[in-house]
Structure 1
Amino acid sequence: MKNIARSRLTQVAALAAASMLAVGGCSTSSPTSSASSDSSGGGAASASSAAGAAATGPLSAFYTQKLDWKSCDEGECAKLRVPIDYAKPSGPSIEVAVNRMRATGTKKGSLVVNPGGPGGSGVDYAAAADQIVSKSVRESYDIVGFDPRGVQRSAAITCVDDATLDQFMGSDPSPDDKSEQNALLAGDKKFADACKKNAGPLLGHVSTEEVAKDMDVLRAALGEQKLNFLGKSYGTMLGATYADLFAKKVGRMVLDGVLPPDLSMQQINEGQATGFEKALDAYLADCASGGKCPLGSDAASAKKKLQTWLAGLDAKPIKASGDKRLSTLTEGWAINGIAASLYNQAQWGDLTEALRSALEGDGTQLLNAGKSYAERNDDGTYRSNVMQVINAVTCLDRPAPAGGVAAYEKDADAFSKKAPTWGRQMAWAGAVCADWPVKATGKPHEVKASGSAPIVVVGTTRDPATPYEWSERLAGELQNSRFISYDGDGHTAYGRGSQCVDDAVDHYLVDGSEPAKKTTC
């Protein structure tokens, strides 16, 4: 997925807060030849051994390892060793960075958290525990994060340098003619070829299924019999995949803003197009009714004006300042900036001011929003590798759309009927996977997690990145689910201002009180 699909399915606001924290203490290592068991500083040796007792054979060394916790800027940090290839557990392994924020009260266990992505840092996310979970959850659980394999501190995948990534991010996401199509496909191939050359053997082993298996090793290393998990956005696919693989090991699991494992890449792209279109319509209605909207006082006219302006950027980007390398706002960066603001209703005011300046010829504010979305600094460096690893995971998890340019054009026409602003670019979002150097190892599949404990699924009615219907879909597929329906805007619901949602999730996590089969907030 690129541009908004070259971006990520993640909880942007929380990650932005987390990224302001100092980074250190959980460094990553290069692949090594075999598994090793770390010595424990946490006093959980017997619990860890019991939790990993089910693993036998070559995997037992991973399941019985002990985490050596040390103080770090992100709380307490440790390293978890996992095999690169679970089919060859005696082969090379890597270290996954793990951190925890200790429970502030009487500890009930560990709660593993993931913010989304693919490519979001769980270490940064857990370090912001006070912002991502309630006080009662903080009191009851060690909040545990990890950078998934290939992400930041965990043998990070790097394909291109920062300047090349700028070109990739800023390219035209919605080609209108043959020349633009060729440019987009050439850029995608350049990126894929660079990954083949530079990313190393881990490139073929960063699938969601492999990360889910890492989570089970983590569960054992934490000394937990069952995995308690809070996943948002793409983190829901990770949680659902874990539940399908290890149903009997599911503890208290909350999946908020669902990316369903059973959808094809085209279905995901179409769903995101309609999701962002719905969110844009809600924003424009709010903007137009406020009396000071730079796009006008009528929502329909405002939308046409915005679409015309975006199309104009395709041919003639506008000036922007304050960045070492980027001096103009292109259509690609503008789309990223708008998308970032649609993730959170609290950012709508900033979007209005950014659009006001951009319509007057200054794209600085909107470019800054797009750079924040990409975790990019003004000096031209990127704070993380999320914009590189997202494609590696996506292209492994699902086969690329078949049919080449003709299929993308057909999808563009179909998607645009439902989502005139976002449809064309989302139809082309899977093109980067067409030339991917590693064949997809996953495929769309239903998740039932038969025999699991109740899994709480949360959906937001006007979620742009993970449409409400996706949460409904997974809740219906799971054999044992509870569904919380939130009538609201923005991406994900828990911890975003709804007392109804927060109370239901908190009571479940802290007390084990199951919500009703369906709760409406």
Structure 2
Amino acid sequence: MSVLTTGKLSRIIAGLTAAALLVPLAACTSEPPAPATSSGPAGLDRFHQQTLQWTNCDDYATTETESTVIALVDGLQCARMKAPLSYDDPGGRTIEVAVARHAAGGAKVGSLVTNPGGPGGSGVFGAATTVLGLEKAKSPLVERFDLVGFDPRGVGSTRPAVDCYTDAEADRGEVALTTQGTTVQWTEADTRAVVERCAKDSGGPDALAHLGTRDVARDMDVLRVVLGDEKLTFLGQSYGTRLGAVYAEQFPRNVRAMLLDGAIDSRQGTVERRVFAYTGFQAAFDRMATFCASQDGCPIGRDPKKATAEFQKIVRPLYAEPVPALGGELDFDGAVGGVISGLYTQAAWPRIIKGLGQLRQGKGDELAQLGFDFSGRDAKGAWTNFAEANYAINCMDEQRLSEQQGNELRAAIFTSAPFMDPGVDLTTGARDGCEHWPAPPTLGFPYAQNVQGLPRTLVVSITGDPTTPHAGAVRLAESLGSALLTVRGEGHTIVTAGTNPCVDKAASDYLIDLEVPAAGATCTL
């Protein structure tokens, strides 16, 4: 069994860059649809008037890891909310959105709806981790809000969920979902086969055609009504900042408050943003290398300026000769993917260093485990559908690229993040995995520009964010007219971690009392 081969790491890297989802190489944009009115299309009464049947969340976890964490949260309840598959045909086929709620402990302001990122991250699981983080911080948000998360359409326990491969196939690395940032090389037959596999077990082509962020935003507005909130209070992290911006564009007068943490620049198209994200990963790698250089026995040397070259010496041989890892093998993409997984948080830098030291000894266990931890694979071999949902949602959001554009993008990625460059000829085969998708993308770029009627929102951004770099958050704040809280330090998203009193206070002041930080406000990790 191969533990982290090219196929698996293409899925992991798809998720890694999803938070910084990505001006095109050529004219391949689609015009954004006209924003929906705040009242939405006709025919939604039956969805607005439904009553959620709250139960325990035993049946809402998809892995043992999720089940264990959800069980730690006293009082977490779950339910399924019906929504139309197509908002153009609300009397037709329906879906069931999985929702989790933790009731307010005191005088309630309303519901605080959250999204943890992705796309593809489970909001049910995210609700559990949010409650735990806020309780750790003794945040007043736990007392003043029903904390609510939901699995977006296609994700986790929502029905139907995207399903493109089995857990066994995931372990064997048989199904690739992207070429970008990897050494994967596809033919047209390969991309057609992937779409056909996904359609077969994900509710059919019609379900795949209605997975975009614009539809998820409409689901969120139905959820607002069903929860009994006149206006939405929302906390979106990473991809959740895209979801929040799109909701704000479509339903600006339905927003009470919106906090966007780890923000995506809504002006950047697919290509520009992906290169921007990988530039962020290289910067994070360089900072990790500086940290490593201060440690005895750093496997990439004592000179940070030479760290990328030393890293390449260690990992490039894996392209032809994988090393043993956790009972299987770790190849080049697996090693790079494990490192990228660890770059999301400074706390994981020692694990990267340990993993690189193991590679020098011919083993890949630590980097393989880093990749597993990020992708959500549990100790029993169960995988979440994060990467599959990520791929499918992006097919309905992102700009489609020709093979030539894909090849140029892959070259640009390796230029912007040379630590990822395999040093082999990869001038062909970077086909768009969505080229045979049953519907064109619906998001449109740029989005959420010149939004009228939106109340004051808040963007939070860490200066050392590896995947949604700080400069992009500054631009999103400009686009939405948001206040900006700059957090000096390393990491990706911070508001629900419960680890920084400065951030915790700013978040609660805004979400409860609608008080935004002063211009130029900063916190430090």
Match for residue 457 of structure 1?
459
Runs of 4+ in 1 over 6 A off after TM superposition: 170-173, 423-430
Amino acid at match of 2:175: F
Match for residue 194 of structure 2?
191
Amino acid at match of 1:389: A
Post-superposition offset of 1:446: 3.1
Residues 146 and 413 (structure 1), Cα distance of their counterparts in 2 relative to 1, 3 Å cut: closer
Residues 169 and 291 (structure 1), Cα distance of their counterparts in 2 relative to 1, 3 Å cut: farther
Deviations 1:305-338 (A, max 9, x none): 112222211111100124xxxx101122222211
Match for residue 4 of structure 2?
none
Post-superposition offset of 1:188: 4.3
Kept in 2: contact 1:269–1:427 (CA 8 A):
no
Match for residue 175 of structure 2?
168
CA distance in 2, matches of 1:438, 1:308: 43
Post-superposition offset of 1:77: 1.5
Q: Does 1:60 align with 2:60?
A: no
Kept in 2: contact 1:170–1:332 (CA 8 A):
no
Match for residue 285 of structure 1?
290
Q: Does 1:505 align with 2:507?
A: yes
Q: Which moved more, 1:417-426 or 1:271-280?
A: 417-426
Kept in 2: contact 1:173–1:428 (CA 8 A):
no
How many matched pairs?
469
Residues 212 and 375 (structure 1), Cα distance of their counterparts in 2 relative to 1, 3 Å cut: same
Residues 56 and 168 (structure 1), Cα distance of their counterparts in 2 relative to 1, 3 Å cut: closer
Post-superposition offset of 1:467: 1.3
Match for residue 256 of structure 2?
251
Residues 54 and 202 (structure 1), Cα distance of their counterparts in 2 relative to 1, 3 Å cut: same
CA distance in 2, matches of 1:359, 1:172: 27
CA distance in 2, matches of 1:85, 1:182: 32
Kept in 2: contact 1:10–1:115 (CA 8 A):
no
Kept in 1: contact 2:116–2:236 (CA 8 A):
yes
Out of 117, 131, 140, the residue aligned to residue 144 of structure 2 is 140
Listed as ranges, the matches of 1:266-281 within 5 Å are 266-281=271-286
CA distance in 2, matches of 1:80, 1:439: 27
CA distance in 2, matches of 1:414, 1:117: 23
Post-superposition offset of 1:169: 5.4
Residues 468 and 2 (structure 1), Cα distance of their counterparts in 2 relative to 1, 3 Å cut: farther
Deviations 1:211-232 (A, max 9, x none): 0000000000010011111110
Q: Which moved more, 1:112-121 or 1:305-314?
A: 305-314
Kept in 2: contact 1:255–1:457 (CA 8 A):
yes
CA distance in 2, matches of 1:175, 1:501: 36
Amino acid at match of 1:401: L
Deviations 1:168-213 (A, max 9, x none): 359986677xxx6347x76544322312333213111110010000
Q: Which runs of 5+ in 2 are unaligned?
A: 1-8, 20-37, 59-69, 71-75
Match for residue 40 of structure 1?
none
CA distance in 2, matches of 1:427, 1:268: 22
Kept in 2: contact 1:311–1:331 (CA 8 A):
yes
Post-superposition offset of 1:426: 13
TM-score (norm 1): 0.83
Post-superposition offset of 1:66: 2.0
CA distance in 1, matches of 2:431, 2:493: 24
Q: Does 1:6 align with 2:9?
A: no
Residues 174 and 139 (structure 1), Cα distance of their counterparts in 2 relative to 1, 3 Å cut: closer
Deviations 1:265-290 (A, max 9, x none): 11121011101111111111111122
Out of 225, 234, 254, the residue aligned to residue 220 of structure 1 is 225
Match for residue 408 of structure 1?
406
Post-superposition offset of 1:248: 0.6
Match for residue 420 of structure 1?
418
3-state SS of the aligned residue for 2:164?
coil
Amino acid at match of 1:105: G
Residues 175 and 258 (structure 1), Cα distance of their counterparts in 2 relative to 1, 3 Å cut: closer
Residues 115 and 426 (structure 1), Cα distance of their counterparts in 2 relative to 1, 3 Å cut: farther
Match for residue 49 of structure 1?
none
Amino acid at match of 1:441: T
Match for residue 31 of structure 1?
none
Amino acid at match of 2:507: V
Out of 194, 213, 229, the residue aligned to residue 208 of structure 1 is 213
CA RMSD of aligned residues (A): 2.7
TM-score (norm 2): 0.83
Ranked by relative contact order (alpha carbons within 8 Å, sequence separation 6 or more), the top structure is: 2
Out of 451, 462, 467, the residue aligned to residue 469 of structure 2 is 467
CA distance in 2, matches of 1:117, 1:127: 16
Deviations 1:465-520 (A, max 9, x none): 11112111111111x31011122111123245443322211211122222124422
CA distance in 1, matches of 2:472, 2:145: 29
Deviations 1:316-368 (A, max 9, x none): 1100124xxxx101122222211111111111112211221122111111111
CA distance in 1, matches of 2:428, 2:268: 15
Post-superposition offset of 1:3: 4.6
CA distance in 1, matches of 2:189, 2:326: 28
Kept in 1: contact 2:164–2:194 (CA 8 A):
yes
CA distance in 2, matches of 1:401, 1:117: 21
Q: Does 1:335 align with 2:340?
A: no
Match for residue 370 of structure 1?
371
3-state SS of the aligned residue for 1:65?
coil
CA distance in 2, matches of 1:265, 1:170: 16
3-state SS of the aligned residue for 1:508?
helix
Kept in 2: contact 1:83–1:94 (CA 8 A):
yes
CA distance in 2, matches of 1:97, 1:122: 8
Kept in 1: contact 2:41–2:87 (CA 8 A):
no
CA distance in 1, matches of 2:299, 2:158: 44
3-state SS of the aligned residue for 1:148?
coil
Amino acid at match of 1:6: A
CA distance in 2, matches of 1:369, 1:280: 15
Residues 240 and 2 (structure 1), Cα distance of their counterparts in 2 relative to 1, 3 Å cut: farther
Kept in 1: contact 2:14–2:178 (CA 8 A):
no
